Amino acid sequence: MKTNQVELLIALAKEIKAEKKIKTKVEATLQSAKILTKHGNFTGKYTNLSRVVTSVK
């Protein structure tokens, strides 16, 4: 993945984390896109995104 894309993903993750009131809506969207499971885990193709999400402080 290009560095610029990683930076954009990190910025998006920070923005999502800051907007806690819409967290359930974001989770529902990611679940409907088959990126997250019902338990909140990333699906097979998207496991690398967990590194971006967990690196956001």
pLDDT for the residue 37: 93
Q: Which two tokens stand for residue 46?
A: 């998207």
Note if the pTM is more than 0.75. no
Nearest alpha carbon to residue 53 among 20, 3, 16: 16
pLDDT for the residue 51: 80
pLDDT for the residue 21: 65
7-40 pLDDT, tens digit per residue, is 888 888 888 777 666 778 888 888 999 989 999 8
Mean pLDDT value across residues 47-57: 74
Helix residue ranges, H only, 1-57: 3-18, 23-32, 49-55
